Amino acid sequence: MNFNLSDSLIQKIELDLPYQFYVKRDDLLHPLISGNKWRKLKHNLMAAKADDRSILVTKGGNYSNHIYATAAAGKVFNFETIGFIRGEKVDNATLRFAAEQGMHLIFCSRSDFRNINSDTIQMYLKDVDFSKIYFLPEGGTNESALQGTSEIIDEVARQLPNLDWSQTVFAAAVGTGGTFAGMINGAAGRGNLLGIAVLKGNFLEKEVALLCDNTLNNWKINNDYHWGGYAKWTPELIAFIREVEAAYQVPLEPVYTAKLFYGLFELMQKRLIKEGSTIIAVHTGGLQGRIGFTEQHGVQF
């Protein structure tokens, strides 16, 4: 089975600012298994197949992009999928999609959710064959995930062979930090990397440092654009999403990519990134979340 998808588009955006700005359109990697969640799954699926594990077990929240992508990947690459979902049973577009792909959804209490292990799995799934299970953590971050996201950097290097690395900044939204840590490893000391934290609390720097190669220090996390915390938003952020889409045909969603782009645009406007730099913003996908966001908040994009 071939787990390689075509390289994602690199899109140049002309701005009236003293920067070269590119978007790495990982949102276009696959119609259903999008963005960084595909990158993070790829080597895990290869490992699962190689080890003859046919059941992917994972966990996530109600609107999880990781649940969505795992369900879709299971369907496409022929795995059974089981998703533990935190909290009371709910019905929304993300979970309906996952169920349609064949994912077996199990709603569980917050305390069970926190420590899903072979005992809890057994409790919920009496006759599952444990030897066939491949477990993926929440958000999909593990060693194999980092290997997948590290590949973004060399892919861009092939697409932009004349890149001046000393003037280049790779940027991405940071949730668990897995995607960004993989990118740091992939850059292997070349260029600079800027992570925009989408969670509040200034702890992501530590998380990323634990995940990435600790001999590398050409990266930093900006904590100024989380908008109050995970999935927090204001009408201004929604207006920004509409503006970017109208001006550059790049669709964004409010949890991750809008915060990345808003941060980058403001940092460029304030010249807080070195003038003349080439900025490569990684669009990590997640656009499925817009449907749930509309369902939940009545906001149209």
Ligand X SMILES: *Cc1c(COP(=O)(O)O)cnc(C)c1O
Binding site for ligand X (CB under 6 A): 35-37, 65, 139, 141, 173-180, 256-257, 284-286
Nearest-approach distance from CB 159 to ligand X, in angstroms:
20
Q: Which of 70, 2, 61, 62 is nearest to 35 (CA)?
A: 70
Q: Which of 22, 20, 18 is nearest to 9 (CA)?
A: 22
Nearest-approach distance from CB 25 to ligand X, in angstroms:
12
Q: Is the Cβ of residue 74 or residue 286 nearer to ligand X in the bound state? A: 286
Nearest-approach distance from CB 161 to ligand X, in angstroms:
27
The single residue listed with the structure tokens 């925009």 is 196
Q: Is the Cβ of residue 146 or residue 267 nearer to ligand X in the bound state? A: 146
Q: Could you tell me the two tokens for 290?
A: 């817009």
Nearest-approach distance from CB 193 to ligand X, in angstroms:
13
Q: Is the Cβ of residue 191 or residue 286 nearer to ligand X in the bound state? A: 286
Q: Is the Cβ of residue 113 or residue 127 nearer to ligand X in the bound state? A: 113
22 dihedral zone (left: phi>0; alpha: psi -120 to 50; beta):
beta
What span, in angstroms and rounded, lies between the C-alpha atoms of 53 and 58?
Answer: 14
Q: Is the Cβ of residue 33 or residue 133 nearer to ligand X in the bound state? A: 33
Nearest-approach distance from CB 162 to ligand X, in angstroms:
28
